[in-house]
Amino acid sequence: MFKDKIAVITGAGGTLCSEIAIQLAKNGAKVVLVGRTMEKLQSVLDKIKSERGEGFAYACDVTDKQAIANLAKEAENKFGLCDYLINGAGGNNIKAMPTITKFDERELSGDLPEGQKGLYDIDIDAFERVLNINTMGTVIPTMEFAKQMIKKGGGSIINFASMNTYCPLTRCFAYAMSKAAVSNLTQSFAAYYAPANIRINAIAPGFMVNERSKNYLGTVEEGLTQRGEAVINHTPMGRFGRSCDLTGCVKWLLDDNASGFVTGITVPVDGGFLTLGGV
């Protein structure tokens, strides 16, 4: 399906995008793995090569315009012009999050109990970094690799949104704000690049299993935290998502034969989370 297509995947060292990269490589794509930590990228690349796939790893900051320009040049030199871009890099920062879920007068006077912090106690620089990685970390690679797609006559881009795109979860102010922006820029960029035959869509993963989520949600098999129970009770399918749950949607959105008239949408892959109003 994707034989000899060139796919650039940011955040490729993470649980979700590493699986996407592996599956695309299995389907014949040449994958460019992008992330901040070469060690993680190399582990994914080793697995791809062990199954006779093609790819290479490149460590850089996706919010650095010059670094992304250098990446694009390197990718073109190795494999040729890009067909697909998956903007999977992003994340949250606990320093940008309060521990309480609603305003408490004591946060203004510094009298909250030890270990608690309100909105006025968060690290505003961390808040800004979350906005930057999720928004500009999508915008900059899109603009750079769209140049290659224009030369090639078209391409497909997938951005990563979130359940926070639709309704902000408690305490996730910066993350929710940035993921709402991702859905909006997906629409506006899709309209702008349509004359160049570049389709731009997004996926919004539900609550997925990874090492980080286990710390604050727990697992269905081994026991849930209070927040994890709230998520499962709000998910009709009664489980967390797995990385493999995303790959079918990704392949559909990339494939011009399957989704050639689809652009500007955000697809929830959430086990039905958005179908319930919580009452």
Distance in angstroms (rounded) separating the CA atoms of residues 156 and 167: 27
3-state secondary structure of 59: strand
Q: H or E stretch including 268? A: strand 266-269
Q: What DSSP state is assigned to residue 136?
A: I
Catalytic residue, chosen from 84, 120, 166, 175, is: 175
- Tell me the sheet residues that pair with 221: none
Residue 200, helix vs strand vs coil: strand
The two tokens of residue 168 are 């902000």
Identify the helix (H) or strand (E) that includes residue 78: helix 65-78
By the 10 Å C-beta count (0-12 exposed, 13-18 middle, 19+ buried), 44 is classed as: buried
Q: Examine the residue annotation and report whether 175 is marked as an active-site residue of this protein.
A: yes
**Centroid of chain to Cα 25:** 19
The contacts of residue 145 (CB under 8 Å, 6+ apart) are 8, 72, 82, 85, 155, 157
* φ/ψ (deg, to 5) at 145: -80, -20
Cα separation, 12 vs 14, whole angstroms: 5
Residues labelled catalytic: 175
